[in-house]
Amino acid sequence: MEVHSCYSTTYYCIVNVSRCLISNQAKFPIVKERRSYSGLHVYSIKKKRTQRLTITALKGFDSVDSSLLSESYNSDIIDGKVGTQNVTGSAKSVPKVIVPSLPDETKADSVAVVDSCLWEWKPKLKVHYEKSGCQNVNSAPILFLPGFGVGSFHYEKQLKDLGRDHRIWALDFLGQGKSLPCEDPTSQSKRLDESERDGNNVVWGFGDEAEPWAKELVYSVDLWRDQVRYFIEEVTKEPVYVVGNSLGGYVALYLAAYYPQLVKGVTLLNATPFWGLLPNPVRSPRLSRLFPWAGTFPLPTTIRKLTELVWQKISAPESIAEVLKQVYADHTTKVDKVFSSILEIIEHPAAAASLTSIMFAPRGQLSFKEALTGCRMNNVPVCLMYGKEDPWVMPIWALQVKRQFPEAPYYQISPAGHCPHDEVPEIVNFLLRGWIKNIESHSSVALPLLDSPESIEYDIVRDLEFVRQGMKKAVRVRFYGSMTSQWERLRMFLKSRFQYGVYSP
């Protein structure tokens, strides 16, 4: 008996077995002859009535590993494509990749310097943003867009690391972070209560009439799309790679669909697949008239009372801590800075009314799916990096994006939750650097974790290791190829899980 393996590479495992009776024969489905994707080896796998498995390779490999015969073989085998990622046993189940750690902040010269800035887009509307790596004039520029309820501070680990070799910007959406208004968007015609006179309990946005500069102000996805558009035109002054988490991912797609000339590529980090509750007045004018208020200032009296009740609950420190606990899969992740930054935001007098405007703002003119279609039609590169353990944007949403945009690389990271860029920044930074190199080189440089540009067609799994604070950590990353359909993945998963009792992570 002879077994030849190409296990150590990302290429698919081809074995040569002569008259071999596999003890666990039922785990191999019937598949048809197929040429391996490297184009170098033709193989055939056939399941015969005698339950003998014959696997023939026309060309052999150098290394020999007979231990595979004594272990279970859990590889996905779909239409002849056999992945190395799931060969289990002998501590060799998944190839490992060592990923660089974050720069040591105790050494000032190893961390990119981060500058905090303000950009006045319109009168009374100042946008806060942070930047790093301005000296890297020949590097690809990257713009980070935050999720709901946070701001540029959530990308500190990208600013300090990626800023060493890229030009980086991270901005706060208007109505969030430090881009809250510096004045009350409403005027107070009525006499203030005694409790409000001391200035300690003043709440903005609850006045009787909107100020002239805020008459059309609504913190909506349309406003944020325009905000990012003008930020690129006036601040970065060149097309950028846009990276968005959650809400930021939606805005990134939305922007790229409308203004593809401003976007070199989009990376989605657990992007929310929808945003906005009320109908869009441009897209559905008749339906939108049924709703008398859609996030404008001032807040109606009934909405004010609702806001006061809800705000007391969601702005409580224990409520914020509970949300952070939900969205981070690894509870050892330090979120002290994120927690304190959010507490600082909610103390702003405009925070409550701004949140209400966001929640009652109309939907965008394009849905998430339509924006994704626009990106594909305009040849805007898209990459997905999703935390698998996200309780909000679950893996099924990412798979739907992959189904609609098959050529988009999809990296599923585990364990990681809704904010993989903050939870496992080492992984996200590594993948982002590699993806940008792939785009900038016109695909002559393979995508991260792949050995060749051709291997983008197939699913693989890798264990990525890195060091954080002197301790080794590891996550598993699954790359979803472009040729394996979602139905095939689901079919193979159900077949292996329920029929044969085999689970493939």
Classify burial at 48, counting beta carbons within 10 Å of its beta carbon; exposed 0-12, middle 13-18, buried 19 or more. exposed
Per-residue model confidence (pLDDT) at position 492: 56
Say how far apart CA 428 and CA 273 lie, in whole Å. Answer: 20
3-state secondary structure of 430: helix
Residue 227 phi, psi dihedral angles, 5° rounding: -60, -45
Contact by Cβ (8 Å): 238, 141: yes
Residue 103 lies in a domain: yes
For residues 27 and 267, which has the higher predicted lDDT (pLDDT)?
Answer: 267
Given a cut of 60, is residue 248 above it in pLDDT?
Answer: yes
Mean pLDDT across 272-289? 90
Q: State both tokens at 449.
A: 């974790």
Using CB atoms within 10 Å of the CB of residue 496, give its burial: 0 to 12 exposed, 13 to 18 middle, 19+ buried. Answer: buried
Cβ density class 287-314: b for 16+ within 10 Å, e for less: ebeeeeebbbbbbeeebbeebeeebeee
Interatomic CA distance for residues 35 and 16, integer angstroms: 15
Count Cβ atoms within 10 A of the Cβ of residue 213 and give its class: 0-12 exposed, 13-18 middle, 19 or more buried: middle
Is residue 226 exposed (0-12), middle (13-18) or buried (19+ Cβ within 10 Å)?
middle
- Nearest CA to 158 out of 114, 127, 190 is that of 114
313 three-state secondary structure: helix
Answer yes or no: are the C-beta atoms of 268 and 251 closer than 8 Å: no
Q: Is residue 484 part of a domain?
A: yes
What is the identity of the amino acid at 100? P
Residues 103-138: pLDDT tens digits?
998 887 789 999 999 999 999 999 999 999 999 999
Q: What pLDDT score does 50 carry?
A: 38
pLDDT classification of 70: cutoffs 50, 70, 90: very low
Structure tokens at 138: 């020949």
pLDDT digits (tens, 9 = 90+) for 430-447: 999 999 999 999 999 999
pLDDT in the model for residue 495: 60
- The verdict on residue 307 lying in a domain is yes
**Alpha carbon distance 501, 503 (integer Å):** 7
pTM, 2 dp:
0.79
Strand partners, 187: 209
Lowest mean pLDDT among 24-28, 154-158, 239-243: 24-28
Mean pLDDT of 217-236: 97
- In the block, which residue shows the tokens 């994120």? 338
Q: Which residue has the higher pLDDT, 504 or 304?
A: 304
In a domain, 227, yes or no: yes
Residue pointed to by tokens 């689970």: 503
What amino acid occupies position 163? G
φ, ψ of residue 292 in degrees (nearest 5):
-70, -20
> Is the distance from CB of 390 to CB of 126 less than 8 angstroms?
no
Share of the chain above pLDDT 70, in %: 75
Q: pLDDT tens, 169-199?
A: 999 999 999 999 999 999 976 545 544 444 4
- Give dist(CA 80, CA 46) in Å, integer: 10
Output phi, psi for 443, to 5 deg: 70, 10
pLDDT at 163 over 90: yes
Q: Enumerate the β-bridge partners of residue 129.
A: 117, 171
Residue 457: which pLDDT band, with cuts at 50, 70 and 90? Answer: confident
What is the model's pLDDT at position 481? 86
Q: How many domains does the chain contain in total?
A: 1
State the residue for tokens 């690391």.
161
d(CA 145, CA 248): 5
**Residue ranges making up the domain that contains 488:** 96-188+202-492
Q: Tell me the per-residue pLDDT of 315-325, one tens digit each, with 9 for 90 and over.
A: 999 999 999 99
Rounded CA separation 245/271 (Å): 6
Is residue 501 one of the residues assigned to a domain? no
Question: Of 279, 232, 280, 274, nearest to 256 (Cα)?
Answer: 232
- Tell me what pLDDT residue 451 has: 84
Per-residue confidence band for 54, with pLDDT thresholds at 50, 70 and 90: very low
Q: Is the pLDDT of residue 61 over 50?
A: no
- Report d(CA 34, CA 218) in Å as an integer: 56
* Tokens encoding 484: 């394996």
Separation of alpha carbons 305 and 212, rounded Å: 24
- Whether 15 maps to a domain, the answer reads no
- What does the pLDDT read at residue 483? 72
Do residues 149 and 176 make contact, with C-beta atoms less than 8 angstroms apart? yes
Kindly report the average pLDDT of the chain as a whole number: 81
CATH number of the domain residue 124 falls in: 3.40.50.1820
C-alpha–C-alpha distance, residues 308 and 152, integer Å: 27
pLDDT tens for 370-423 read: 999 999 999 999 999 999 999 999 999 999 999 999 999 999 999 999 999 999
Instruction: Render pLDDT for 345-375 as a digit per residue (tens, 0 to 9).
Output: 999 999 999 999 999 999 999 999 999 999 9
Query: Which pLDDT score, from 0 to 100, does residue 105 have?
Result: 86
359: which 2 tokens?
A: 């929640």
Domain assignment of residue 34, yes or no = no
The answer on pLDDT for 487 being more than 80 is no
pLDDT of residue 67 exceeding 70, the answer is: no
pLDDT band at 294 (very low <50, low <70, confident <90, very high): very high
**CA separation for the pair 385, 423 (Å, rounded):** 13
Q: Evaluate whether residue 131 is within a structural domain.
A: yes
Q: Which residue has the higher pLDDT, 269 or 19?
A: 269
- Token reading at 335: 């979120």
Q: Which tops the pLDDT comparison, 344 or 74?
A: 344
